């Protein structure tokens, strides 16, 4: 019995040492295993983080009604090694659900972030969207303040609320649901600013564009116009498993 107890303690010490060796220093901001979490209204939850792990294999975002159990994975990040990344959850039943991040490292070692609920961010406005894209893969990005006001501002990868890559590989368009009728148009470009095509008059508020319209994987840029006024200029990322048109 004593031998089994000793072996169990030895195993626990080895696992603890391995985790400490592979994990970056924890902080109180958005560096993994911590993460930023904001509710920007209409049950849209923005999750963002900074990654300092050098041996990371998988990052998955999980959501639950309870802080301890019932978690379901809502997204597994295509490229977990990205230094700064994020996601907009537009499918939450309400804005008070719990979120956590599953992190898998080398040799099968894994850990979970602490679970938390999003804070309501009443300061988020469309004007916060930058006028150029950030250098991060997947979906799209916006610059926003560091959630810890005592620290210098940093750029956390977060997707656009209007043009982003869906999990099924389509480019999703979600336009503002304003009561007043407005005319929207979208221009698409390759990453080198080569013009690809334009939707001159968007007829629907919510629709998808097949990724085969973009001919290859990688970065693409877009410009979104409202009543001929540019309101957003960003980029999105199509995953590497893209199958080109024959």
User: Within this chain, do residues 170 and 96 fall inside the same structural domain, yes or no?
Assistant: no
Give the end of a domain, one of 92, 122, 152. 122
**Per-residue model confidence (pLDDT) at position 147:** 40
Nearest alpha carbon to residue 162 among 122, 126, 116, 114: 126
User: Within this chain, do residues 115 and 38 fall inside the same structural domain, yes or no?
Assistant: yes
84: domain CATH number is 2.60.40.10
Query: Within a domain: residue 155?
Result: no
Q: Is the whole model's pTM more than 0.75, yes or no?
A: no
Domain region containing 85: 25-122
**Per-residue model confidence (pLDDT) at position 44:** 86
Query: Within a domain: residue 185?
Result: yes
Q: Give the tens place of pLDDT for each residue, 45-69.
A: 999 999 999 899 999 999 999 888 8
For the ranges 95-104, 174-183, 200-209, which has the lowest average pLDDT?
A: 174-183
DSSP character string of 21-82: HHSPPP-SSSBTTS-EEEE-STT-EEEEEE---SSEEEEEEEEESSSSS--EEEEE-S-TT-
**Count of Cβ atoms closer than 10 Å to residue 237 Cβ:** 23
In the predicted structure, residue 105 carries a pLDDT above the cut 60: yes
Q: Give the tens place of pLDDT for each residue, 121-162.
A: 766 544 443 333 334 333 333 333 344 444 444 445 566 778
171: domain CATH number is 2.60.40
DSSP class of residue 225 equals E
User: Within this chain, do residues 114 and 169 fall inside the same structural domain, yes or no?
Assistant: no
Q: Tally the domains of the chain.
A: 2
**Residue 135 DSSP SS3:** coil
What is d(CA 103, CA 52) in angstroms, rounded to the nearest whole number? 12
Contacts of 12 (CB under 8 A, 6+ apart): none
DSSP class of residue 116 equals B
Q: How far is CA 23 from CA 19, 84, 92, 105, 125, in A?
A: 6, 16, 30, 9, 35
Query: Within a domain: residue 6?
Result: no
What value does the mean pLDDT take over residues 15-20?
46
Please tell me the number of Cα atoms within 13 Å of 184 on its side-chain side. 21
User: Within this chain, do residues 104 and 167 fall inside the same structural domain, yes or no?
Assistant: no
């Amino acid at each position: 019995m004593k031998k089994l107890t000793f072996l169990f303690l030895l195993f626990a010490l080895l696992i603890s040492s391995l985790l400490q060796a592979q994990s970056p220093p924890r902080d109180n901001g958005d560096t993994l295993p911590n993460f930023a979490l904001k509710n920007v209204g209409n049950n849209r939850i923005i999750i963002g983080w900074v990654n300092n792990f050098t041996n990371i294999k998988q990052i998955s975002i999980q959501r639950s009604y309870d802080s301890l159990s019932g978690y379901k994975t809502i997204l597994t990040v295509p490229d977990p090694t990205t230094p700064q990344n994020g996601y907009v959850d537009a499918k939450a039943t309400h804005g008070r659900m719990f979120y956590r991040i599953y992190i898998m490292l080398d040799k099968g070692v894994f850990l979970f972030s602490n679970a938390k609920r999003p804070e309501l961010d009443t300061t988020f406005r469309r004007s916060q969207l930058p006028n150029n894209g950030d250098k991060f893969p997947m979906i799209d990005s916006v610059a926003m303040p560091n959630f810890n006001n005592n620290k210098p501002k940093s750029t956390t990868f977060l997707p656009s609320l209007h043009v982003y890559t869906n999990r099924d590989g389509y480019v999703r368009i979600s336009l503002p649901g304003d009561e007043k009728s407005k005319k929207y148009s979208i221009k698409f470009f390759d990453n080198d600013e080569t013009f690809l095509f334009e939707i001159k008059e968007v007829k629907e508020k919510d629709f998808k564009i097949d990724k085969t319209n973009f001919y290859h994987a990688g970065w693409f840029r877009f410009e979104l116009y409202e009543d001929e006024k540019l309101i957003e200029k960003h980029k999105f990322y199509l995953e590497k498993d893209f199958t080109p048109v024959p």
